[in-house]
Amino acid sequence: MASLLPWLPWLVVPLLFFYLLDILAQVCRRGLPPGPRPLPLIGSLHLLGDQPHRSLARLARTHGPLMSLRLGAVTTVVVSSPDAAREFLQKHDAVFATRAVQDAVGAHARSSVAWLPHAPRWRSLRRIMATELFAPHRLDALQRLRAEKVRELAAHVARLARDGAAVDIGRVAFTTSLNLLSRTVFSTDVTSLDDHGGSKGFQVLVAEIMEVAGSPNVSDFFPALAAADLQGLRRRMARLFARLHLVFDREVDQRLGRRARDAAGEPRKKNDDNDGDRAARSRHAPVAVLGSVCCWQ
């Protein structure tokens, strides 16, 4: 027994720390919706399992349609009924419009309609999308372009069918959507249906960005550890976004070069148009808008 006395402080201090931490957590939970009692440090992370949507539905049957969970060091409120969701998303939309940004996304959220908070910059980019890209008159003007891209897709599939070749539905659909967006913003195609390397590479790049953005990250659950980037997701995302912006920057540079030639009196190319010039009037807006749409297809 005497031999254990020197180790007693090392046992008591951690137990006391976790006890005080539990008391503090209970105090902080006052006023929050009901929810499962969190464990020290990990909170309720252990209850999510490998199918969080099913786990949350099961917990909602016990704790109600509005419940609170502590995921690591972050307290989260889960809404799981139509009435509660309507209360959040309709009546109090402006209050809850700002979404939490994953640590892996980080600074890249400043150029994305999908991740920006409800602030002046978000409203500015949304205004560009509403007036320059997706306004009714703009969509009507692009009806011919959409029909052209559908005909190109049908002709490409028919040619492959005649040759007895397989059709990569995911790639050709992605390429068609991507070229529709790029023609809307830049008045030019980023890739082509026959360019397997270009479109497939871009599709893989977008898929990787979505995968990293949706990966569970220790930094999101324990913000105090975010600076360490323990899983390397922030560094990986930075490399992916650098490749994505390289594509868009090249298109913007080409557009600005054509505008400079127009100012010098050189003839315009056949596929240039005034709407495309307006969409490319800044270096950041087309990249932000097209990047957001591509990454969330």
- Neighbouring CB atoms inside 10 A of 162's CB total 8
Which amino acid, residue 273? D
How do the domains of the chain map onto residue ranges? 32-96, 120-295
pLDDT given for residue 281 in this prediction: 46
Task: Report how far residue 252's alpha carbon sits from residue 286's, in angstroms, rounded to the nearest whole number.
Answer: 8
pLDDT given for residue 278 in this prediction: 46
Packed helices 169-186 and 143-163: angle between N→C axes, nearest 10 degrees: 150
Which ranges of the chain have pLDDT less than 50? 1, 270-271, 273-282, 296
pLDDT tens digits, 210-267: 889 888 999 999 998 898 999 999 999 999 888 888 877 777 777 777 777 777 765 5
Question: Which two tokens mark 165?
Answer: 């070749």
Residue 35's contacts (CB-CB under 8 Å, 6 or more residues apart) are 29, 44, 59, 63, 67, 68, 69, 70
pLDDT tens digits, 81-98: 898 888 888 888 878 877
pLDDT given for residue 28 in this prediction: 63
Angle formed at CA 198 by CA 193 and CA 204, multiple of 5 degrees: 105
pLDDT given for residue 5 in this prediction: 60
Angle formed at CA 242 by CA 237 and CA 243, multiple of 5 degrees: 100
pLDDT given for residue 198 in this prediction: 60
pLDDT given for residue 287 in this prediction: 53
pTM for the complete prediction?
Answer: 0.70
Phi, psi (degrees; rounded to nearest 5) at 49: 70, -160
What b-and-e string marks burial along 17-41, b requiring 16 or more CB atoms within 10 Å of the CB? Answer: eeeeeeeebeeebeeebebbebeee
Helix or strand or coil: residue 99?
coil
